[in-house]
């Protein structure tokens, strides 16, 4: 399933504002950053996988696909859907299983109190 464009963070200025003023929680495999914005129609997300996470594009794409699936699975449960959410893969993410990645992503989302 393709990730809808209306759910993507498209402006670099928004991304910078989220990283500077948003709340972040770091886990073993991911860093989640969120920022509430009442002017948004719904939650908007970005998924960052740098070469630090993996040298191979195949592995980086796999990580992004997994993060998108977690987002699509849990986004309807968010208490306040009017927010930005940035997921950044850490260096150990490549070696993690899908279950470990999902558990870490969900744990950080709970720590950020996204589920109310």
State how far the Cα of 112 lies from the Cα of 107, in Å rounded to an integer: 9
Q: What is the pLDDT of residues 52-74, one digit of tens each?
A: 999 999 999 999 999 999 999 99
Parallel/antiparallel/unpaired status of strands 30-36 and 23-26: antiparallel
Please report the pLDDT score of residue 36 as a whole number: 93
State how far the Cα of 52 lies from the Cα of 94, in Å rounded to an integer: 10
Q: Is residue 14 part of a domain?
A: yes
Q: Which of 4-8, 60-64, 72-76, 104-108 has the lowest mean pLDDT?
A: 4-8
Grade residue 1 by pLDDT with cuts at 50, 70 and 90.
low
User: How many separate domains does the chain show?
Assistant: 1
For residue 10, pLDDT beyond 80 = yes
State how far the Cα of 18 lies from the Cα of 20, in Å rounded to an integer: 6
Q: Is residue 26 part of a domain?
A: yes
Please report the pLDDT score of residue 4 as a whole number: 74
3-state SS track over the chain: CCCCHHHECCCHHHHHHHHHHCEEEECCCEEEEEEECCCCCCCEEEEECCCCCCCCHHHHHHHHHHHHHHHHHHHHHCCCCCEEEEEEECHHHHHCCHHHHHHHHHHHHHHCCCCC
Q: Is residue 38 part of a domain?
A: yes
Q: Is residue 52 part of a domain?
A: yes
Give the CATH number, domain containing residue 22.
3.30.230.10
């Amino acid at each position: 399933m393709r990730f809808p464009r209306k759910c993507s963070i498209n402006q670099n200025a928004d991304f910078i504002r989220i990283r500077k003023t948003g709340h972040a929680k770091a886990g073993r495999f991911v860093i989640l950053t969120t920022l509430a914005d009442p002017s948004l129609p719904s939650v908007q997300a970005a998924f960052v996988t740098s070469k630090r996470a993996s040298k191979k594009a195949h592995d980086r794409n796999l990580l992004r696909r997994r993060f998108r699936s977690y987002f699509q699975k849990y986004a309807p449960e968010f208490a306040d859907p009017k927010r930005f959410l940035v997921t950044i893969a850490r260096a150990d993410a490549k070696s993690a299983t899908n279950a470990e990645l999902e558990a870490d992503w969900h744990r950080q989302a709970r720590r950020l109190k996204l589920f109310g």
